Structure 1
Amino acid sequence: MSDTSKKIIIFDDDEDILSICNYILEEQGWEVHTHTDCNNIIEKVSAVIPDVILMDNWIPDAGGIIATQTLKKDEKLKAIPVVYFSANSDIQLLADHAGAEAYLAKPFDLEELEKVINSVLVKQ
C-alpha cells in the first residue's frame, strides 16, 4: 500500500460537513468514506480498515460515544485512532469518555482538521 492511499471514515449526519471534509481530504490524497449513521459500525469499519476515523457526537442511532466504545472493544479495530468531533462545550470529556484519541470542536477550521488528523497518524 502506498502512502498516497491513506483511508479515513467520517461518521456525521451533517451532509455539509461531510462534503467539506470529503473535498478537503481528497485534495490531500485521502481515500474518504462517509456514513450518516453508526449502525453496524463494526462492519462499516472492517470493510475499509481506515487509518483514521472522524466521529460525530450526535451520530444516529447509538451516538458517537457508544459507537467509539464499540470500536475500542473490537480486537481488530481498537488501534485505529478516532477523532471525536462535536459542538458540545464539554467535547474533551466526551472524547475521553468515548475512548477517542483526539477531539475537534465544531465549528473547526480546515487547518485544525489537518492538524488533529496528522497528530493521531504520527502516534501509530
Structure 2
Amino acid sequence: MAEQKKVFIFDDNSDILELCTFILEDAGYEIKTSSTSNDIIDQVTAYTPDIIFMDNWLPDVGGIDATRELKSHPTLKSIPVIYFSANNDVMALADQAGADGYLSKPFDIEELENIILKHLPK
C-alpha cells in the first residue's frame, strides 16, 4: 500500500471543509483543514502536506498573501498550491498569488480529484 498523500485545505467555510474532507478521505487521502492562514509557515511545516488548497477569502491573512509567503519559503515553495475560489477572476488571483493551479467553486468531485492527481509528484 502506497503511503497516503497528505492534503491541507485552507478555507473559512466549514461546509466546504467538511465536503472536501469527506470526498478526499473517501479517495484515500489524509486531510488536514484550517479556517485561517495565520502563521501559514508554522501550520504547513507542522503537517508537511503533498498539496495545499488555498481559499481566496480568509480572515486576517488572505489567500494571496498566504500563498506568496509559502512560495517565498525555501523548503515549502515546492509544495503545489491550488487556489480555489468562487471569484470569477480565480485564474487571475491564482496567478497573482503565484499558485500552481486553481479550482473554481463550486466544483465537482471529479475536478477536485483530477487537479490533485495532476499536481501531485508522481
| Distance (whole Å) between structure 2 residues aligned to residue 4 and residue 99 of structure 1 | 28
Q: Residue 68 of structure 1 corresponds to which residue in structure 2?
A: 67
TM superposition score normalised by structure 2: 0.96
> In 2, distance between residues paired with 1:67 and 1:59?
9
Per the normalisation by structure 1, the TM-score is 0.94
1:1-124 alignment runs, 5 A limit = 3-122=2-121
Give the Cα separation in 2 of the matches to 1:63 and 1:3: 34
CA distance in structure 2 between the partners assigned to 1:30 and 1:57 by the alignment: 23
Deviations 1:59-105 (A, max 9, x none): 12110000000000100100000000001111100001101111000
Question: Match of 2:49, SS?
Answer: coil
Give the counterpart letter for 1:80 in structure 2. I
Moved over 6 A (4+): none
SS in 2 for 1:78: helix
Question: For this pair of structures, how many residues does the alignment match?
Answer: 122
Alpha-carbon distance, 1:121 to partner: 1.0
Percent of residue pairs identical: 54
Is there any run of 5+ residues in structure 2 with no aligned partner, and where? Answer: none
